[in-house]
Amino acid sequence: MYDLLNRLLDLELVRFLGAGSASVALYYLIYLPLTLYRKDLYLWWTVVAFVPSVIANFLLQRFWAFDGGTMGMSVQVALFLIKEVCFLGLNDLLLYILVQRGVRPTWAQVFITPVLGVLSYFITHWILAT
């Protein structure tokens, strides 16, 4: 039990959460005001918020959260971008479904973020730490 707790509280996970939280905060700082301004464009605003968030996320994850791994930087950037674009598509699909079911766009985004965050940890770890 103690060993499992140590693994869960591994410093890498804490750094991942810190870096991820910073990039999610940047995403929301851009997405939320735009959505409040024009709620009907909520799917477009995800793309606008996506770009600076991905750049910040890659830099923080690559140079702070993970040790850099053995893959070359160009391969890591390519794989990270593929992951992020797929996550953007999944995010927008889930966002669309929830909004069509009557959930406000801002609340739908808040529900989706932690689900994608858990999945992101395992994929990002593979890209940047192996």
pLDDT by position in tens, the chain (length 130):
567 656 655 678 888 999 999 999 999 999 999 999 998 998 999 999 999 999 999 999 999 888 777 888 999 999 999 999 999 999 999 999 999 999 999 899 999 999 999 999 999 999 998 7
CB atoms near residue 19 (< 10 Å) = 22
- Nearest one of 97, 118, 96, 101 to 24, comparing CA atoms: 118
Q: What is the DSSP letter of 130?
A: -
Tell me the pTM.
0.82
**62 is written with which tokens?**
């690559």
